[in-house]
């Protein structure tokens, strides 16, 4: 499950999302629906994927919460939406409230600013490469 989330369905669409926002968001929402079903099935009503305590899948997905929150700010899309994915939205809140998560997850606004700076750098590099190829 952790490998599936990381390599295929959850992380892969992230980068193109900022270039082709609509298609990337669609891909992420499909992955989020899959995660919602997995959480519902695996947790059996308990707070985390593995039950009462945090496990590998929780940590793997939890590492992406900051990126999800930053993406929500940057795109205006609600990814962990309580109306569409109530189990996952509740899980994200619980995970974010863990002392260990609070210690290692930076501020969302800081991440948003970092992403904006990186996007500007990528745009400048792309423009420089385009100019160099013409000249």
Q: With respect to residue 53, please indicate whether it lies within any of the assigned structural domains.
A: yes
Domain with 18 in it: 2-107
pLDDT given at position 1: 55
Tokens linked to 105: 């997850």
For the chain, the C-alpha Rg in angstroms (whole number) is 17
CATH code: domain of residue 23: 1.20.1050.10
* Domains in the chain, number: 1
d(CA 39, CA 45): 9
Q: With respect to residue 126, please indicate whether it lies within any of the assigned structural domains.
A: no
Is the full-model pTM beyond 0.85?
Answer: no
Q: pLDDT of the chain along its 135 residues, tens only? A: 555 454 444 544 444 545 556 777 788 888 899 999 999 998 999 999 989 999 999 999 999 999 899 989 988 888 999 999 999 999 999 999 999 999 998 889 999 999 999 999 999 999 999 889 886
């Amino acid at each position: 499950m952790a490998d599936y989330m990381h390599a295929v369905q959850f992380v892969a669409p992230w980068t193109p999302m900022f270039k082709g926002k609509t298609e990337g968001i669609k891909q992420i929402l499909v992955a989020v629906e899959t995660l919602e079903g997995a959480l519902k099935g695996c947790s059996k009503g308990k707070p985390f994927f593995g039950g009462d305590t945090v496990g590998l899948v929780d940590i793997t997905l939890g590492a992406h919460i900051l990126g999800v929150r930053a993406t929500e700010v940057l795109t205006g899309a609600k990814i962990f939406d309580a109306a569409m994915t109530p189990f996952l939205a509740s899980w994200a809140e619980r995970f974010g409230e863990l002392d260990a998560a609070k210690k290692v997850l930076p501020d969302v606004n800081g991440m948003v600013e970092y992403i904006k700076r990186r996007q500007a750098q990528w745009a400048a590099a792309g423009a420089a490469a385009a100019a160099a190829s013409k000249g």
